[in-house]
Structure formats: structure tokens, C-alpha cells
Chains A and B, each alone.
Chain A
């Protein structure tokens, strides 16, 4: 008799059950009952945001090189667990070929974003030639805590495509996983837990998007939202709630399974720009200025 896995939430680097004590059935495409997943609640969202906020400052303070090494490690761990993901994807109804494509693209996407960690600054940052004796420079900075509603079309790739560009730039995330296909997200949490990713940088909730999203989109300590392929009514509701603390809302309708659904713009979507001025002393006869 096998020992079956309980699919729990991933918050603050740990795997707690939902505080609401509820679960829901995860079905394959053909309607087979595969597993039970936690049905996350408002309080779980609250706890996740708290964990994300706690972890964010020190994650952003790590050197860019350090962050890139951590994301490479995710790629390594993902590669090592390839078999596990293939099994889950097939159980959920994918055929082997598509599943393999999805996992391999996911691994490649991890490597791709890991490489950006210490490079996007060179492209998004600038030294600005102002018309006064000042050294003026702009640098990108993480926005903070990003709420994510993962792509509801794919089980793994969409999730990765939204989470990685946000965290590579120093943000922490709270993700509401694909409601119907949540298993890969939680198995991915296991990858994160073994990848030197500090607890709280990525937090994953499973359950009803409609139930949990309002808490996330209305939460005053969430700085931005990454929303994929939402029903327009739900999207509009979320955008309206986001206005309260001026969340930056990014809505994606792209098909993340394309190998080109990645790029610098996904990172810059979650970066603020800070511009600093400092006087340049005029040597030989000039004033100091201010």
C-alpha cells in the first residue's frame, strides 16, 4: 500500500494546511479523482502576505549574483525532479510529449531568468545627462510584495513564467495557483524548499481563485499584481480593489507555453525606478553648488 502525499500550502518556507481545514478534489481531464488539495482561505492569504513581506527586504538585499545562483539551483532541482513532474502532468491529463515539452521549457525558463539577475540593471538603469552639474542616475528597485494569479491554462509553465521575473528582481510573491491543476505548483514548492530560496520569498496557495483573489487584490500591503487570463468580470473587480493603495496591476493574456513568452519586460513590469541627484564639484575655479 503506497503512502500517498498530502498536498498542502507553501507559506514562509513551510507546508502548513489551510487554517480553514477544507480541501477539494483535484480531477484529471477525464474526471478521475487524483488527489485532494487544500482549499485556501482569506486568512491563508493574510498569512502568506505577512510571510512575503517579512522575507522581501533581505531577499532584495542579496547580491544580484547570489539571487542568480539561487534560481540556477531551482533549475537544477527541477531537472532532478523531472520524472515527478512528468508523472503529475500526465495524471492531470497531458500526454507525454506535451508534458515533456512543458517541463523542459520550464527548466530552460528558469535558466533564462537566472541569467537576468545581474544584468537587467545594466539595461534598465541609466546615467542621465541632466543640464546641470549633477551626477544623476536611475536604478531599478523591487516593488515589494507581488500578488500572482497563476495562469489557469498550464499547470507549471505559466506559474514559472510569472513568478520568476518577479522574484529575480528582488520581489517576493504570493501565488494563487491554477485552481483545477494545482499539483505541480505544490510540487514546485518542494523544489523551492530544497533550492536555497529563503522561506517567504515564494508563497503558494491552492483553492478557489474567486474566493481568495479579493483578499489579495484588496490587501493594503501588496504592492503589485500579476494576473493571467482572468475572466473579465473577475479581472475588473480585482483592478477596482487594487486602486485603494495604487497597486501596479499587470494583466497577461499571452500563451506562456511559447518559448518566446519571456523577456526583460516581464522583469521591468515589477521594478520601480529610483533617480538620485548629487552635485559634481567644479574643480578649478567653480562653485560647489547644491
Chain B
């Protein structure tokens, strides 16, 4: 047999087990209800721009119905249950999600464009585990907060983003229910399907009606939810701009608020770092989920003494990144979530060129239909460049060099954001020394983009406030009256 160039054959995950309905209603009070607005919008698959389903568009009256249902369920049912009983519902949900894992993964990929490998191996397992984790807290709140008299807040309005639709839903709903609250959740308009599937799972689990309500729609639906007077809590994950609008809207109300917003996280490679490992880490930090990650390591800082070596290895590594059909198990970078987002990314790439940065993109073919973007590196980037300051939310990495640790810490912190940071070094004392100085809610040392239900996640400064995950994540959904 002669040695010929060979490439990977497509290895497509089957969509046979997924049944998408032509039209979805709102999920209120345990039932599917047509929207009072009588309006629907289209959901498309960003991988090939095909139509997936019509989704109900909730208006203020619909949101009001949902909040009422949640309030009634809280007062009459959910607040009367013991923690152990709430926990059992959550276990059931977790188990059903696990049983339907493949279906949820395929649905997530179709709806949002993320590679099936990530949906299957990261999003869905983490989402299931999040429910398992918080199920176990439901009957242990007095032990979690001894002597502090923890009490549920009541009804929570929750808004989730399009980058990890099901996972963000889990991060919102699991702790809320475990602590005894009921919820009204509005998923992002480009990714409603897994939330709607989750509603079916709630029905199958026998969750009392009204404990979980899903109202689909655009930003106006979200605004109506935030503005509703009978909510005790708002939780939002999304852009900093919208987060600020929400914080403003809550002034003068008694609503408790947690926000999980954008970031421009610094990923720092020191000269004593294991280089090959750091390069893999950088790739994962910015290209995982097409860079649609709030905590993406989008600013790379390399110590000047190893900069050439690292850059060469990064460029070489980009050649084996596969951009393509999200359903193909070989794909590393899937589709950009929407046309709008792709346009935003392309604008920033253009801006980078205008700002004088040097661009590098590997040669690869992009599919002809759908929204795709090549992984992109920018070198010769100044600290003051807009591409180094503003969140791009795509597979674009800016690269800067530094000479001393003091310099890079200062540069890393020189941003209104403060979500995450990465540090690569072989020296333990340095890890602790640097992480102590970084203004970031999550610090990854010699790794990146690691998530676990038991690990608290959240930002400093304009990346938001409040934590999700772990013991700390319970605080967002409790009050401690004395």
C-alpha cells in the first residue's frame, strides 16, 4: 500500500433520535400554552441556515401568566415541601436528563452550532451533574448555613444566553429549586430548543405545575420578565451592556440580582511553563465552543523570551483544527451561533487589521452554507487596541508580549472586565502569588476552561457579581433573615 495523503472522513452523528416539533408553545403552569401574543418566530440551524421550528414569542401578558403560575406554585406547593422531597424531584430530573443525554446533545448542536463532541462530552454531562449536585443540597441547607436561618427567596426570573443553553439553564434552575424557589426562565432567542425539551422532562418527572415555567422570546420578553413586579430575584447571564440595563431596572425594587456577564480574560504564559501543554491550553481557552465563552482566554500574554517559540507552535497547531459541520464528530470549531454574531466577529477582525495588528489564519475550507469563521490570531497588538479591550466573542485571539510578572499582572487587570484568567508556569509559589493579584473570579493554573458543579464560577468588576456552582452558589437563592 502506498502512502498517500489521507484526511478524516466525516463522522456524522445521527439526528434520527431527535424529533423537533414544527411549532412550540410556551410552557406555563405545567402545560403547553399558546402565546397570548399569537406571535411566533423562526429558529434556524446556524450550520446550514435551515429552518428548525417556530417558537412562541411571549409578550408581557404571557410573562405575567407565567409569573403568576410560579407564585401560586411557590406559595401552595413548593414551599410546603421538605428539602428532601424537593431533592427527589431534582434527582428525577437529573436522571431523566442522563437517560436522554444523546438526544439533548444533538438538539443543542442543531440549535446552536456547537460541535457535537462538545455538546455530548461537556455541555450535557455537566448539565446533568449540576442537577445531581444541587439535588443533594436541598435537604442540607441548615447544615450548609448553620445558625443563619436560610430561607427561599420566592419566585426567580432567569434569563439564559445562547452559548451554553442547556448548561446555563442547569446553572440557573438547579440551585433555585434546591433552595425552594420557583422559576420563570427565558432562554436566548436563537437557542430555545433544549429549554423546551427540558420542560418536557419536567413534565415526565412529575414536577408540580408552575415550579418551572419557560417563556420563549426576544429581548423584549426578557425585559418584560425583569420588569415584572412580583419577582423576588433576577438572574441573568449575557452581555455586560444588557446586564447594566437590568441592574438599572431593579433599582427601587426589592429584587435580588446576580449577573454573569462578559469578559476579556488574560491567559498568561511564563517562560518556565511546559510549552506544549501551554499551547494546547491556549487553543482550548479561545477556540472551545467557537470562542463563544464569557471566560474565554481571549488575550494571550507570552513572556518575550519564549514568544517566538510559542507563536510558531500556535500557528502549527492551528493547522490541525477542523472547522466544519457541527454534527461531524471530527469538528473542533463548529458554526457561529447567528448571522449577527458572525458579522460582529468579522467587524472586529477588520478592525484589528485597521489597528495595525498582524493577522494569522490557517488555510482551511469553510462550508458554503451556514455561519463559519476561521480560527484567528492577531500579533503586534497594543494594550490600547480595541481588539484587545472589547469582547469579540468568537475564535479570535489577541497576542501580546511581556517582560516581567509585574507588567503582565498590571496589563491583565487593566480592563473593566474580571471574569477569568489563566496562568502557565511550573512554579507553585508563582501560581499563588500571581493569582492573588489577578482581579478575576476564576483563575485557572496550568489548565483552562474547567467547570464542575462543585466549583463556584463568577466575575469581578463588570463581569458581573454572584457565584454559580458549589456551596457559594446557594447564596444566590436564599435570604438569611434574623
Q: Which of B406, B429, B434, B454 contacts A122 (CB 8 A)?
A: B454
Q: Which of A112, A119, A121, A284 contacts B84 (CB 8 A)?
A: A112
Inter-chain contact A263/B143, CB cutoff 8 Å = yes
A68 to B91, CA, bound (A): 12
Inter-chain contact A116/B136, CB cutoff 8 Å = yes
Does residue B470 face the partner (Cβ distance < 8 Å to A)?
yes
Inter-chain contact A281/B430, CB cutoff 8 Å = yes
A278 to B430, CA, bound (A): 10
Q: Which of B136, B406, B453 contacts A114 (CB 8 A)?
A: B136
CB closest chain-B residue, reference A69: B132
Does residue A252 face the partner (Cβ distance < 8 Å to B)?
no
Q: Given the complex, which residues of A lie within 8 Å of B144, measured CB to CB? A: 119, 123
A111 to B86, CA, bound (A): 12
Does residue A61 face the partner (Cβ distance < 8 Å to B)?
no
Contacts known (A65-B133, A119-B136, A119-B471); A283 close to B433, Cβ less than 8 A: yes
Q: Which of B137, B409, B429 contacts A119 (CB 8 A)?
A: B137
Does residue B80 face the partner (Cβ distance < 8 Å to A)?
no
Does residue A115 face the partner (Cβ distance < 8 Å to B)?
yes
A122 to B140, CA, bound (A): 13
Contacts known (A64-B454, A118-B454); A281 close to B136, Cβ less than 8 A: no
List residues 434-462 of chain B with CB under 8 A from any CB of chain A: 434, 436-437, 453-454
A247 to B137, CA, bound (A): 32
CB closest chain-A residue, reference B84: A108
CB closest chain-A residue, reference B90: A115
CB closest chain-A residue, reference B98: A69
Chain B 249-290 interface mask (CB, 8 Å, partner A; 1/0):
000000000000000000000000000000000000000000
Q: Given the complex, which residues of A lie within 8 Å of B87, measured CB to CB? A: 111, 115
Q: A279 to nearest B CB, angstroms?
A: 4
A268 to B280, CA, bound (A): 40
Inter-chain contact A282/B433, CB cutoff 8 Å = yes
Choose among A112, A279, A280 the residue with the greatest number of B CB atoms under 10 Å from its CB: A280
Q: A172 to nearest B CB, angstroms?
A: 22
Q: Which of B136, B409, B433 contacts A280 (CB 8 A)?
A: B433
Contacts known (A281-B432, A283-B437); A112 close to B139, Cβ less than 8 A: yes
Chain A interface bracket (under 10, 10 to 19, 20 to 34, 35 or more): 20 to 34
Q: Given the complex, which residues of A lie within 8 Å of B432, measured CB to CB? A: 135, 278-281
Q: A247 to nearest B CB, angstroms?
A: 27
CB closest chain-A residue, reference B455: A122
Does residue B405 face the partner (Cβ distance < 8 Å to A)?
yes
Does residue B88 face the partner (Cβ distance < 8 Å to A)?
yes
Does residue A220 face the partner (Cβ distance < 8 Å to B)?
no
Does residue B427 face the partner (Cβ distance < 8 Å to A)?
yes
Does residue A129 face the partner (Cβ distance < 8 Å to B)?
no
Does residue B179 face the partner (Cβ distance < 8 Å to A)?
no
CB closest chain-A residue, reference B436: A280
Does residue B22 face the partner (Cβ distance < 8 Å to A)?
no
Inter-chain contact A115/B135, CB cutoff 8 Å = yes
A65 to B98, CA, bound (A): 14
Q: Given the complex, which residues of A lie within 8 Å of B136, measured CB to CB? A: 68, 114-119
Inter-chain contact B129/A283, CB cutoff 8 Å = no
Inter-chain contact B132/A68, CB cutoff 8 Å = yes
Chain A 255-269 interface mask (CB, 8 Å, partner B; 1/0):
000000001100000
Contacts known (A72-B91, A279-B429); A122 close to B139, Cβ less than 8 A: no
Chain B 413-429 interface mask (CB, 8 Å, partner A; 1/0):
00000000000000111
Q: A82 to nearest B CB, angstroms?
A: 15
Q: B268 to nearest A CB, angstroms?
A: 12
Inter-chain contact B140/A281, CB cutoff 8 Å = no
Contacts known (A68-B136, A112-B84, A283-B409); A278 close to B428, Cβ less than 8 A: yes
Inter-chain contact B471/A123, CB cutoff 8 Å = yes
List residues 54-79 of chain A with CB under 8 A from any CB of chain B: 64-65, 68-69, 72
Q: Given the complex, which residues of A lie within 8 Å of B132, measured CB to CB? A: 65, 68-69, 72
Q: Which residues of B contact A (CB under 8 A)?
A: 84, 87-88, 91, 129, 132-133, 135-140, 143-144, 405-406, 409, 427-430, 432-434, 436-437, 453-454, 470-471
Q: What are 13 pairs between A and B in contact, CB < 8 Å? A: A64-B454, A65-B453, A68-B136, A72-B132, A115-B137, A116-B140, A118-B133, A264-B143, A278-B432, A280-B429, A281-B430, A283-B405, A284-B406
**Apart from the given pairs A118-B454, A281-B433, 6 other A-B contacts in the complex at a CB distance below 8 Å:** A68-B136, A115-B87, A116-B136, A118-B453, A119-B471, A283-B433
Top 4 A-B pairs ranked by shortest CB distance?
Answer: A115-B136, A281-B433, A281-B429, A122-B471
